[in-house]
Amino acid sequence: MSKPAKQHPKPSSNDSTPQPASRPPGISDTATLRAKARKDIEDGAITDSYTADREAVIKLLNDALATEYVCVLRYYRHYFMAKGMLADAVKGEFLEHAQQEQAHAGKLAERIVQLGGEPDLNPATLTQRSHAEYKEGKDLRDMVRENLIAERIAIDSYREMINFVGDKDTTTKRILEEILAQEEEHADEFADLLEGWIGE
């Protein structure tokens, strides 16, 4: 049996009684919003409307965090060890990337804490948990090549994470999308460098 359609009285300017506002589907009234916010206050930024698998998201973010730190360390190693004709130009890229990967790590760690998790920065297990590898590279060109490979790994894993999170956690998704865009820039820079490489 279908419900009879409700008749909404037309608001008139001389009627002082507040009319219940009609809300689009999925939009709560103020009283419901207030009551929900008071419940489970210890969950901080995480409310009932968070529908992603929080534990799984924290785990993925921690894997990405480990990857970023391994990348920071690899870029610093390459920055200090870069030698040869093109070293001056390439060193600047390595240093900039090291700093940007560090910033990515910061964003991930912050989000992990917001979700009620703990950032895993245990150095003893960093390389096992990282997607990308710590490759020292035998010369400058090899370093660039290894970094391009690491960036391509990061790109694929961030894209997979974005697909997993989807629209269930739009804040995490936005953070991951911002990081992904920068990893694509990094990869693009190295691809350009390798393409125009002269000599060994």
Task: Report the nearest approach of Fe ion to the CB of residue 183 (Å).
Answer: 4
Q: How many residues bind Fe ion (CB under 5 A)?
A: 6
Structure tokens at 12: 């008139």
CA triple 111-37-169, angle to 5 deg:
35
72 neighbors 132 (Cβ within 8 angstroms): no
Whether the CA torsion 111, 117, 121, 125 is positive or negative: it is: negative
CA–CA distance, 108 with 102 (Å, rounded to integer): 10
Among 60, 74, 101, 119, binds Fe ion (CB under 5 A): 101
Could you say whether residue 74 binds Fe ion (CB under 5 A)? no
Query: Among residues 92, 180, 197, which one has the least CA distance to residue 142?
Result: 197
Binders of Fe ion in range 37-56 (CB under 5 A): none
Ranges of H-type helices in 115-131: 126-129
Could you say whether residue 104 binds Fe ion (CB under 5 A)? yes
Choose the binding region for Fe ion from 57-65, 119-127, 178-186, 189-197 (rule: CB under 5 A): 178-186
Q: CA neighbours within 13 Å on the CB side: how many for 146?
A: 19
Q: Which residue lies nearer to Fe ion by CB, 46 or 155?
A: 155
Q: Which residue lies nearer to Fe ion by CB, 67 or 169?
A: 67
Binders of Fe ion in range 1-20 (CB under 5 A): none
Structure tokens at 155: 């790109």
Among 186, 189, 190, 193, binds Fe ion (CB under 5 A): 186
Task: Report the nearest approach of Fe ion to the CB of residue 104 (Å).
Answer: 4
Could you say whether residue 169 binds Fe ion (CB under 5 A)? no
